[in-house]
Chains A and B, each alone.
Chain A
C-alpha cells in the first residue's frame, strides 16, 4: 500500500459537499470496536460489524438518539453551540489541516469537517434550517451521514492546528469530540480507541499489562540502566509516603523508542535522588477516553488523583506524552479535582515552586528537568549526543493546549550540540501533527496516516537536506510510536527519540562506570568517549 501512495496533488473539489456518500477504503479507516470492549465499558449497542459492511446494525431509533444527544450537548457545551453558529466559511483553516494537505479530500478541510455536523445542526436546531432546509445549509440526517461522520471524525487527530488560524478560534477538535461522542451513543466506535480504554479502565494501562507484568518491565529497565551505568537501580512501585508520584504513558515501558526515554527518566531520578514512586494502578498517563467521550476521559483520569491520595504523595510528576497532557492540563482538575490533599509542587533540589501547577499539582517532566538544568544541578556531557543532529517536533497538545515550547528546547540545547529548528510555520503553535494521534495510529489506517504525516515529514526533509538532521526529538508517546514508520517512508535516515533519552545519554552520573555506549547501545563518538575516560581518570 505505501508503495502505491502517489504524489499528492491538491485537486479542485467537484460536486456538492452535502452529498454524503463515502467510499470506504482499506488503508484509510480504523476497524470497529470489538463487542467485548463495549461491554467492558458499559457502552451501548455492542455487536459484530465493520465499517466496510453495508449494514451497520444501528439501533432502530438511532436517529432520535443522535438528535437527542446533539441537543443535550448543545445545552452543555458552549463551545459546541457557538462553533455550530459562527463560522463564516472564510476558508482560512482549509489548507492548515495535515489530512487535507496529504489527501486533498475536500471534506478534510476543517471547515468542511465541521459543516458535516453543522448541516445537521441547521436542519434540526435552527429556525431558518427548519423552514428553508437545503437553502439554509441544512440536510437530512440519514445513515449515509452517520457513515460520513464516522469516516471524517476518525480522520481528524484533534490537533487544533486549524483553530490557531481561525479568526473566531473555532476548534475542530471540539467538533470531532462531539461527533465521536454522538457516534458512541449508537455504537459506532473503533477498536484502536476502545480497546486501550477498556484495558486502561480494568487493568490500569492501555496495553492491559497486569501489575506483575508492569513490575517485570520496570525491573528489566532498571537492570538495563544498571548495566549501562554500573550503578544499582530500583523502581519503587505503589510505595506509600513517597514525595512524588510519577505517571508516564504506558508506551514508555513497552514501546521502542519510548523505552530509551524511560531509561533517561530512571537515570535522572536516581542521580538527583528523587523520592518517588510509580503506580501499577495508575500505570497509564495517556487517556484514550479523550478520543471517545468526555465521560470516558473522566473515568480513566480519576485513577491518578485517587492513587496520589492513597499513596499520600505530595505532588505528581508526568512523563513525556502529548494528549495525556491535554487531559492533565485542561481537564483533570475540573473533572476529578480539587486535589487539596496534595501540596504545591516544589522541586526538592532547586526549591523552585511550580506556581503554574498550584492547583492541579502536576508538573511536566520537561518543566522539572529544565529547572534542574537551569540551576546547574545536573552534570551533562552533550558531546555524548554528537552522533545526532537533532530537530524538535512540537507535539500538538503540549504546544497548542499548554504552550510548552521553550522547556524542551532549553533541555535539548543543554544535552546536545547539534540542534536545528524546522521552518517557523511548522513548529511551535503552528506545528504539524504526526497524523496518527487521537486514536488513529493503527496499521489498518496506514495509508491515511502516511498522508496525514506528509506535511510534518516534509519539514523534516527540509532540515535533513539543509543541516543533515538525523534525529527528530519529541515529547509524545504517539509520535514516538508512529513517526518512525512515517519517516521511514517519507524521509529515510531520520530516527525518533524522546527528549529524556538525550538527557539520559548526556547525564554524567555520580560514580558511573566508564560509559562507552548510549542508551541504544551505540558507541559514543570518539571525542566524548575520550572525555569520559579523562573524567574517570580525574576522579580516580
Chain B
C-alpha cells in the first residue's frame, strides 16, 4: 500500500511537470519561482535540522567499539574500528562515509536443519555504495550546466564516465549503475518480506522520486535529445538570479526540473537527512577514550544517593558484631571518651 501511494505521488509530480510545459504562466512559475523556493526550503530546512541535532548535548560517551581497545602497549589495537584519538575517529568516519564500513560487515542469517548459518552478503553494501557514489558523480557532472567556463575536473569526470565511447551521445556508466543499483534497492524492498513489512511511504517515495529523476534525465540525454544550449542558458540564468523561461525548454525538461525541486524541498523533512546525521552519530564519532579523558555532561544533574554515613548508621550494630571497621566509632564510647577528656 505504501509502495502504491508513493508511486502515485511521484506519478502525480511527473504529470504536473508535463502539465506545466503546456501553459505559459505555469511554465513561468516552474522555471522562475519553484527552483528558488525549493532551494530555499532545502537550505533552511537542512540547516534547521542539523542545528536541531547539533544543539542537543551528547551527555555520555557511548561509542560502539568494533575492535581491540588501546590498553596494554603490547596488544595491537584497532586504530580505525576502535579509535582512541581524534585522527582515529576521522579515519573511522571516513571509512563509514566513503566506504560504508559498517554495511560491509553485513551477513545474512539462515536457518537450516535447526542450525543457524551466517552467510556472506555483500549485495546491499555494493549496491548502496554504487548508488551513492554514482549519484554524487552525476551531481558533479551537472555542474557543467551551471558554470561557464566548465571547470577542468567536471570535464575530466565526464570523459571518465563516458570512457568507452559507446553510442552517440556516449553512454555514461554512472547512469547505468545508478539506475541498476536503485532498481536493486527497490526490488529488495518488495522481495524481502521483513523489509516489505517495515518499509514506509517515505522509503518508497524517495526511491521512486530519484528513479523518476534519473529516468527523465536519461530520456532527455539519449532519446529526446534536449536542446542543451537552452538548458545551459536557463541554468546559468538561475545561478545568476536572472531566471528566464525560454520556449525552447521541453516539457520533459520541466518535468525533470520539477522532480528535482520536489526532492530538494522534501529532503529536509525526510530520512534523506541521514547524509548529514551520520556525521553526528555519537556511537561512531567519539574516540574510545572515556577512561583516559573525562567526558563532560553539560546537564549532569545531582541525584539522590545513599551516602556512606547513612548506610553505616543503618548497619552499625551488624558491622560491629562482624568486626567490620566503622567510620564513626560507637557513640557510647565517644561519649565516654569525651567525659574522660
Contact = CB atoms under 8 A, between A and B. Distances in A.
Given A79-B283, A86-B273, A239-B325, A404 B75 contact: no
A370 interface: yes
A70 to B, nearest CB: 13
Interface string B91-125: 00000100010110111111100111010000010
Interface residues of B, number: 101
B330 interface: no
A302 B67 CA distance: 29
A179 B62 CA distance: 17
A404 B203 contact: no
A169 B116 contact: no
B274 A212 contact: no
B186 to A, nearest CB: 12
B15 interface: no
B141 interface: no
Contacts of B64: 160, 163-164, 169, 171, 400-401
Contact of B284 (A76, A112, A169, A405): A169
Given A79-B58, A238-B325, A403-B82, A164 B105 contact: yes
Interface stretch (A53-61, A356-364, A477-485): A356-364
A85 B108 contact: no
Nearest to B198: A89
Interface in B225-256: none
Nearest to A295: B303
Given A88-B271, A299-B303, A136 B202 contact: yes
A354 B291 CA distance: 10
B96 A167 contact: yes
Contacts of A12: 193-194, 197
A404 B74 CA distance: 14
Nearest to A490: B114
A338 B297 CA distance: 12
A36 to B, nearest CB: 16
| Interface bin, chain A | 35 or more
Contacts of B74: 374
Interface stretch (A24-32, A422-430, A504-512, A521-529): A422-430
A423 B118 contact: yes
Interface string B297-321: 1011101111110011011001101
Nearest to B283: A169
B139 interface: no
A420 interface: no
B85 interface: no
Nearest to B113: A7
Interface in B243-284: 269-271, 273-274, 277-278, 280-284
A413 to B, nearest CB: 13
B283 A330 contact: no
Interface string A391-414: 000000001111111110010000
A138 B90 CA distance: 35
A257 interface: no
B192 A91 contact: yes
Contacts of B290: 329-330, 333-334, 360
Given A135-B5, A356-B69, A334 B59 contact: yes
A167 B269 contact: no
A209 to B, nearest CB: 11
Interface stretch (B26-34, B49-57, B173-181): B49-57
Contacts of A111: 198
Interface in A320-356: 328-331, 333-335, 337-338, 352, 354-356
Interface of B: 5, 49, 52-53, 56-72, 74-78, 81-82, 84, 96, 100, 102-103, 105-111, 114-116, 118, 124, 128, 188, 192-195, 197-203, 269-271, 273-274, 277-278, 280-284, 288-297, 299-301, 303-308, 311-312, 314-315, 318-319, 321-325, 327
Enumerate the 3 nearest inter-chain pairs by beta-carbon distance, A residue then B residue, closest first.
A12-B193, A403-B69, A86-B277
21 contacts: A9-B111, A17-B197, A77-B56, A79-B282, A81-B52, A91-B188, A166-B102, A167-B102, A167-B278, A169-B283, A212-B318, A215-B324, A331-B60, A356-B84, A356-B289, A359-B291, A371-B72, A407-B71, A407-B72, A429-B67, A430-B105
